Structure formats: C-alpha cells, structure tokens
Amino acid sequence: MENPLIIILLGKAGAGKDTQMELLREKMGLDYIGSGELLRERKKIDDFTGNKISQTIDNGGLVLTPVVFQLWIKKLEELKNRGDVKGIIIDGSPRKIKEAFLLDEALEWYEWNKNIKALLIDISDKEAIERIEKRKYCSQCKEIYIYDGKVEKCSKCGGELIQREDDQIDGIKKRLDWFKKEVEPVIDYYKEGDRLIAIDGEQSIEKVFEDILKKL
C-alpha cells in the first residue's frame, strides 16, 4: 500500500470510540494501535516499568509520554516490517499537544504521513456525564454495560456489575477538565492542518458510523 490511511481517533470518554473503532476495523481491515492496550500488555512484565505502569494506572494517573511513545514505536516498527498494512487506527493518543508532534514525526519516519485523518467523535460534556454515569463493568470479564436498571449480572459470565471509581461524577468531571486542557489543543492542531474530521457523536451508532464513512 502506497499511502495507507492513518486514523487518529479522538473523543471524550463516553463518545463511543471503541464501538466505532471496531466497526471501522471490520469494514476497512485496519490495524490498530491502542495506547491502553499497549500499556496493559507492558504492565504484565514484572520489571521496574511494568510495575510502575500498574501503579500509575491503578492510581488513575497518566503514564508519561516517553514510556508510551516507546511502545508506539515498537508497534509501528512491527507493522512496517510486516509490510501489508492497509491502514491503522490509533486510539488513546495523542493525549497532549507534544504527543501530537511526536506522533507526526514518528509517522513521517515510517513514511505513513501522507494520509492522516484525525477523527473526532464529538459529544457535549452533559452527554458524556449522562452516558458514563450509566456505565457499568463486569467485575470478572470487564465487559461494559449501559446500566438500565434491569441488567444486574453479566450476561456473558454471570459476574457482578460494578461502577468504576473514575466513572463516578468527580472522576468524570476530572477527565472532562483534562480533555479541555490537554486534548482540545490537539484537536485545534489537526484542524489547523486541515486533517480534522468532526462527527456528531450524539446520534445512533449506525448514523455515527455512516457519517464517518461518508467523511473519510
């Protein structure tokens, strides 16, 4: 592939990024680089960085850029050498403006900088709060449920459904403040470079996906 499509997925918690990412991967056969996934893998290694990543995530903190960046590079390198990449969805980064610069340079190095789209699934703070407050997780298998007052146990494994601490109102507000401070400049950066695609995320899953396909 000459110029594979690189999609950088952006949006607040609750915007439905995971769902749209799955749909896009299925439809377009894209590879995936997720900072969350990379960190979860890395923390399984019992060494200084592995243990520190665990601690940081458990305390609701952000793993610092050089550590995350090293993991992206390793993954980009692996994909480049595989040689058959049609496109990549990048999720969970950039989380701040300096990561947007670094990511651009990394993509330039791998010669994947000709067809970059930042895809913003946009929802209001109010909508984000409403959605996240309803979100519950299976304590066993981590499946996500939207709590409707009816579902009480996980339909996959029967595990207890719980609310994550940072899905409670203070945690949500903290994450929204962080988004405004750190991620909005990233959005502006892609917008100025004419690489931003903004989608109204307050529509049905199907409609959001339709809009994404139309605008890509």
Q: Footprint of Zn ion on this chain (CB under 5 A)?
A: 138, 140-141, 143, 154, 156-157, 159
Q: How far is the CB of 145 from Zn ion (least distance, A)?
A: 9
Whether the link from the prior residue into 94 is cis, omega within 30° of 0, is yes
Half-sphere exposure of 100 (CA within 13 A, CB side): 24
Q: How far is the CB of 15 from Zn ion (least distance, A)?
A: 23
Classify burial at 38, counting beta carbons within 10 Å of its beta carbon; exposed 0-12, middle 13-18, buried 19 or more.
Answer: buried
Closer to Zn ion at the Cβ: 113 or 140?
A: 140
Closer to Zn ion at the Cβ: 50 or 159?
A: 159
Residue 142 is encoded by which pair of tokens?
């981590």
Q: How far is the CB of 92 from Zn ion (least distance, A)?
A: 23
Closer to Zn ion at the Cβ: 1 or 157?
A: 157
Closer to Zn ion at the Cβ: 157 or 213?
A: 157
Closer to Zn ion at the Cβ: 141 or 205?
A: 141
Using CA atoms in the order 38, 32, 158, 205, what is the torsion angle rounded to 10 degrees? 140
Residue 157 is encoded by which pair of tokens?
């494994």
DSSP-derived secondary structure letter, 140: T
Residue 73 is encoded by which pair of tokens?
């590079």
Q: How far is the CB of 141 from Zn ion (least distance, A)?
A: 3
Adjacent-strand bridge partners of 141: none
Q: How far is the CB of 153 from Zn ion (least distance, A)?
A: 8
